[in-house]
Structure 1
């Protein structure tokens, strides 16, 4: 009987190593997220509008939302916001955050970063290149319009 040796070409060996590494990294990342309840809790923030109406929001999974979360963890962030085009409230954050702009169509409740330094809360639709920061939980367009009003408003972001 003749012995057979198993030989993998360098390319096949490279694919095998990459596949094994990706699988191991994916399982590790998945386990880290699912076993870390603190990580899950920090994806929520609280928005308090002038007059006392409070909403919760879920942050997006990107470096911009992470930077906003870190900023809020240092202390509440109060933003003076102006009405723009009867579809959104916009105000300066007071610092620049990393941008992850993508073509985006917004809907009521979306929280957007504009030009890296403005926070925008939508209560209607718009399409442009934006960075999604998060979304207000369980609020209708009518509830948002009522809470945000028709003029300028102050919104305070805080850790939930």
Structure 2
């Protein structure tokens, strides 16, 4: 399972079954990844993976807890809806929208991604 640590809180993310999520998993099997993330439009946090990953874009409306690949190289964690062509990577587990908003806080964050076989 993908784990994203933000502000000392572990956010478990169940990955979808697509080539984009598989590429993220393979990337993290080499070691953790720390990504500075910016807040955008009071609906998402985004930051660069630093590499181009395969995309599986579809026209979707996000929900709080959706973890998305945008433009093939951006990790995006949504805490409010947005409609666009995105690649679904995964879904935050065990956190309500209010809890997710609290963990992500206001402004920029640093997220540390790790993979754990569970």
Same fold flag (TM > 0.5):
yes
1:55 Cα deviation after fit: 1.2
Cα RMSD (Å): 0.6
Give the aligned partner of residue 85 of structure 1: 41
Task: Work out whether 1:151 is the aligned partner of 2:102.
Answer: no
1:140 Cα deviation after fit: 1.0
Displacement over 4 Å in runs of 4+: none
- Unaligned runs of 5+ residues in structure 2 are none
1 or 2, which has the higher helix percentage? 1
Instruction: Pick the aligned partner of 1:71 from 21, 27, 46.
Output: 27
- Work out the CA distance in 2 between the residues paired with 1:57 and 1:156: 13
Spell out, residue by residue over 1:42-101, the C-alpha distance to the aligned partner (whole angstroms, 9 max, x if none): xx111100x201111100110000000000110001110000000000001100100100
Return the TM-score normalized by structure 2: 0.96
Instruction: Pick the aligned partner of 1:134 from 75, 90, 96.
Output: 90
1 or 2, which has the higher strand percentage? 2
- How many residue pairs end up in the alignment? 116
Q: Which has the higher contact order (CA 8 A, sep 6+)?
A: 2
- Unaligned runs of 5+ residues in structure 1 are 1-43
Task: Work out whether 1:45 is the aligned partner of 2:5.
Answer: no
Return the TM-score normalized by structure 1: 0.71
SS at structure 2 position matched to 1:47: strand
